Amino acid sequence: GQEDDWLQIALSDTETGYINQHVLNSFPDHTLSHYLKGKTIVIDPGHGGHDVGAIGANGTFEKDLTFITAIELQKSLETLGAHAVLTRQKDEFVSLSSRATVANTYHADVFISIHYNSFPDVPSVQGIDTYYYRDEDKVLAEQIQTSVVKNVQDQKRNVSYGNFQVLRQSHQPSVLVELGFISHEMTEQNLQTKSYHQKLVQGIIKGLATYFIIR
CA distances from 143 to 138, 160, 209 (A): 9, 13, 9
For 132-163, give the DSSP string: ESSGGGHHHHHHHHHHHHHHHTPPEEEEEE--
Going by C-alpha positions, the residue among 199, 151, 154, 148 that lies closest to residue 177 is 148
Distance CA 4, CA 78 (A): 32
Catalytic hit among 62, 178, 185, 188:
178
Rounded to a whole number of angstroms, the distance between the first and last alpha carbons of the chain is: 8
Residues in the chain: 215
Long-range contacts of 5-12 (CB under 8 A, 24+ apart): 7/210, 7/213, 7/214, 8/214, 9/213, 9/214
Distance CA 184, CA 169 (A): 31
Distance CA 201, CA 152 (A): 10
Active site residue 72: no
Q: Which residues are catalytic?
A: 178
